[in-house]
Structure 1
């Protein structure tokens, strides 16, 4: 057996930019000093003593009406009110100043404070709550076709490619000169748009807003993440797109985002040092005031209570103003309960694969072949075979005490992407090429990156075990050979989609009783726009305008773009209605017609895939929607966390728990149903709104596993007009479940002549009624 090794990254040398890419793929906090990521349990600013200052987000009541009447404007009045909490300065101390003044998504400000100064602020009239900010983590040519988006027809034709919709991005900035953001043929932004471009950026009809809330005060993307996510959601058509080198013959290489006709506004809240919550909240505050239709947030941190999560707090106010916030679910899978961005008013996105492979086939001397992947395609390599070398004692390729000159070397990995240190070790020892074997936890998920130095292929753990067995067969290894055949880009791969191993899983910690994530979208090995001035890998500084990156960060903008298409088709729909349309129209099966699988090729749980994989063509015409309003969410908050939490979350909406009916999670009119797994029947109520044909008839279709009984009353719904609402009750009982059963999953589908409106039903023994 290979020698045991710690799961930590160890002392390997990693370039600053390699850290950036790793951080975008999975949560490798300890390995990325360039970004300064902290462990999951840490805060962004570490206190070194009682008097050390750190940044706090301070929530306060809105300014008194009198101060608004006597100020030079609303913004000035709020800033003066916020600064009043910091005056007078403590004798002999530092004069503190407001770093960000929030007026839209929350009422409050951000400032650096010591513990003593925070105590003084908290005693002032109007103070609500304060919490230290955390550092968050930044969490395509094939995906439009994979999702059924075709130029000149279907949903793109119906929605004019999202023309007129405005998408806001909270990210690392943008490469404004990238061809994905040219404005040829685009109309000007709608008259309701209030934003602008921060100099020296010049707005056009595509990029209509750009602002920075970080220290460098520029909107330039020196990381690449923001350009990639923006291009994925709304990039224009760019022909001949290729991540590295010439375009392979016969491949469709026209890159486009999900909503190529939409306008984009970029709010830089991250840089190479990381993403801080105070800046993110400032960006969200500006975006909502500017007039965006949807916000894309490919960032996240460790799960936090909703009333202490700035993204959740800001998203609540955004939803109250008609703006749906789409967020990454996190990259801490496949462990359970690892989600970020879990509030029920947020659309939380999981990540899956697409039907494309950057094929690098490993061919053994005995004729067996294994389909690995590699972005580095060396066409000359497959014409020759090489001795195959594998050592259990040196399986991680840290060093070699044997002669491997001219050999193909098999190396284990303990991270999602092979470390450069292993490649360097093999190269320096004279190896001819490498076969990297996935760590077991990642199963069939292969995360690719660009490498220089040696030809390589990355294979699954299952295939890697077979290759190792061949290399070690018998007493002599001299006759064991292998080569790598590079087949460029292969499309139509099955099965797809498959849940990516890194994609975080439910159940939700912050929103118990609410089914999360909501949907899955392409997030594995996504090709999209990249700033040419940002190197993609350690090695030769070749400029590339496209790059392949993985993460729920990449899945999120796919859904954001689809939200823009739905918003274009239905401008009067609420954020909850749009979210419902995307969830209930999603697909539960892969391109082979089988239930979507997880990284181990087992049937994926709803805690991994959500309601299903996004299906844009169906999302614009869902038939029925489950709608929710601010008062519904407020009732949920009151039931879960109480009055103080509602004041913190809904401060700008001015609701109290005496004004709303407390609402348990199971009774929230959510498009997914999550209940405790118990023998006693539990009845939950739902209401649907007809957004399809005026005269429609729907019949309930139940799919329930053995041991779970589900009853729907009434079992038929008759509609006579658009906008008509109908209520129904779903009663769930697990009286037939075994004592060992912990989870039971089924579906409720409302079926008409033209529509199938599908909702997952999950009964979980770990869930309790609140």
Structure 2
């Protein structure tokens, strides 16, 4: 993203035992001492602190100190979607990134003899013709072997399989939970197939492997991994129905199933991106015993995170499948966050005086709201067959939208916040003063601020009781420009913004008063948007998220 940037790497976690929050905090502190501009964290806290508000976990508080030092902090949203409130990065001083698909797809598929095509994954060559298929559990050398023993069908041991049956055929192997745990590997199954002179390998997914994102794995033999349990059933039904057995002994006389592998080495382009991936964690903020629901939009935005090519150490041992490889294709919000870290570096390079919040504002207000075809960005909502359960993405799915590198370098207007604003927010949480002092050595004064009143490039109101007015202050970092304000109101809410037109000179500020009035009660969030449109082409978008909870005997303003 930023080819000329300098990268500092701090080792805080280890594969063998993970690590401790104290190690991560020490790495953050060291980075701040070293004068870095941006911290990229593809990790999240593993638990909430007991007895205090969610925001007061050690890592988030260390990151607040980093923001105080002028560091822009990017964090992966987490791969715990698509459930609501599954976000693992929630503090307003952290820039939280969800994962989206891009247009480049390495599609691989299995074409069965009955003409059914089953999609799969695998960076593997294909086969020219349809080839007979033999399941590992039907090619055992010892007929007394228990075929229900899970490892038997995973093709991890060539010595238990009959080469005469496998040679020249496609070997069918089971992809079970043992692969997820690292107890079995694709690499070993390929070695088994090679030892038996198989023409290729087909992996079907065990129904117990749910919600696990399969990364396309390099294969030197023709191969494909069926990534859906339902599609795996289609394969097995065809295979089993094609077996010819002796009526008396039930022994297999002929393996009648045939298939070809299309191959997945060459990229295709779908032109349907971006879309929010099913595993990308969703907002709003997680429920907190101290705040119920915080008035903060998360994630902040989405970035490419699915099937991302990344440099890989050929001698690395983190994944057996990628040993010997210099690049790997990975998926997750951990791959999306570094995209934004690099783009933030470009923003910081162009605007050296920008605060962390200003950088975040430039990225957020300019984010794209539409896919490559001009339609709405879609969001996947289920683990199985995710493309069949899509709907237009809401701010709780995608934040402000898909990061737009070009627009972020010319935002026109920015919204800014500083350490003192975030401190006032924390001090507004009941009983927080001792915790704030413990972490920051700062004493809470009389000035506190609600989360909805932070000068963020979004507005979230988790409990709109009758009415509420908030303010946002924009700063013009471009030339003199005239703006008009437009908006779409969330369902069940009327919105008004004042002023609706303004001229703002370079370097000047403009305060916007945004009023929300509930028109009906609703327990579900509804969404809208405010757009600031300049006569010189600058556009700033602020997403709105509101839940109406009207109390009959109280008003709020």
Structure 1 and Structure 2 fold alike (TM over 0.5)? yes
Superposed displacement of residue 470, structure 1: 5.0
The runs of 5 or more residues in structure 2 that have no matched partner are: 138-145, 155-160, 246-254, 381-385
TM-score by length of 2: 0.79
1:584 pairs with one of 365, 368, 374:
365
Is 2:525 aligned against 1:764? Answer: no
CA distance in 2, matches of 1:328, 1:547: 19
- The equivalent residue for 2:486 is 701
Superposed displacement of residue 619, structure 1: 0.6
- The equivalent residue for 2:140 is none
- The equivalent residue for 2:265 is 488
Superposed displacement of residue 474, structure 1: 9.3
Superposed displacement of residue 704, structure 1: 3.7
Matched residue pairs, number? Answer: 501
Superposed displacement of residue 314, structure 1: 1.6
Deviations 1:6-34 (A, max 9, x none): xxxxxxxxxxxxxxxxxxxxxxxxxxxxx
Greater RCO, 1 or 2 (C-alpha within 8 Å, sep 6+): 2
Superposed displacement of residue 416, structure 1: 9.8
Superposed displacement of residue 408, structure 1: 5.5
- The equivalent residue for 1:645 is 435
- The equivalent residue for 2:473 is 687
Distance 1:410 1:545, change over 3 A: closer
Secondary structure in structure 1 of the residue aligned to 2:417: coil
The runs of 5 or more residues in structure 1 that have no matched partner are: 1-257
Superposed displacement of residue 614, structure 1: 0.9
Whether contact under 8 Å (2:411, 2:538) holds in the other structure is yes
CA distance in 2, matches of 1:411, 1:684: 56
Whether contact under 8 Å (1:450, 1:536) holds in the other structure is no
Is 2:448 aligned against 1:671? Answer: no
Is 2:113 aligned against 1:374? Answer: no
Is 2:375 aligned against 1:594? Answer: yes
Deviations 1:375-426 (A, max 9, x none): 2x134x34333348699x9899654599985456385756996976385689
CA distance in 2, matches of 1:727, 1:441: 52
Deviations 1:433-455 (A, max 9, x none): 22434979978965333467872
Whether contact under 8 Å (2:60, 2:91) holds in the other structure is yes
- The equivalent residue for 1:743 is 525
CA distance in 2, matches of 1:441, 1:687: 49
Superposed displacement of residue 638, structure 1: 1.0
CA distance in 2, matches of 1:421, 1:602: 36
Superposed displacement of residue 559, structure 1: 0.8
CA distance in 2, matches of 1:407, 1:318: 55
Deviations 1:665-691 (A, max 9, x none): 111111111113557232222111112
Superposed displacement of residue 588, structure 1: 2.0
Is 2:502 aligned against 1:712? Answer: no
Secondary structure in structure 2 of the residue aligned to 1:279: helix
CA distance in 2, matches of 1:358, 1:555: 18
Deviations 1:611-645 (A, max 9, x none): 11111111111111111112211111011253123
Q: 1:279-678 to 2 correspondence within 5 Å?
A: 279-304=23-48, 305-306=53-54, 308-375=56-123, 377-379=124-126, 381-387=127-133, 398-399=151-152, 405=166, 406=169, 409=172, 411=174, 421=184, 432-437=200-205, 446-450=214-218, 455-460=223-228, 463-464=231-232, 467=235, 480-509=257-286, 512-535=294-317, 537-538=319-320, 543-599=324-380, 600=386, 601-641=390-430, 642-651=432-441, 654=442, 656-658=443-445, 661-676=447-462, 678=464
Distance 1:307 1:520, change over 3 A: closer
- The equivalent residue for 1:728 is 512
Whether contact under 8 Å (2:309, 2:327) holds in the other structure is yes
CA distance in 2, matches of 1:563, 1:337: 26
TM-score by length of 1: 0.58
Distance 1:620 1:417, change over 3 A: farther
CA distance in 2, matches of 1:767, 1:747: 22
- The equivalent residue for 2:2 is 259
Secondary structure in structure 2 of the residue aligned to 1:684: strand
CA distance in 2, matches of 1:723, 1:441: 55
Secondary structure in structure 1 of the residue aligned to 2:10: strand
Superposed displacement of residue 518, structure 1: 0.9
Secondary structure in structure 1 of the residue aligned to 2:184: helix
Distance 1:384 1:561, change over 3 A: same
CA distance in 1, matches of 2:67, 2:205: 45
CA distance in 1, matches of 2:189, 2:325: 27
Superposed displacement of residue 460, structure 1: 4.3
CA distance in 2, matches of 1:704, 1:370: 43
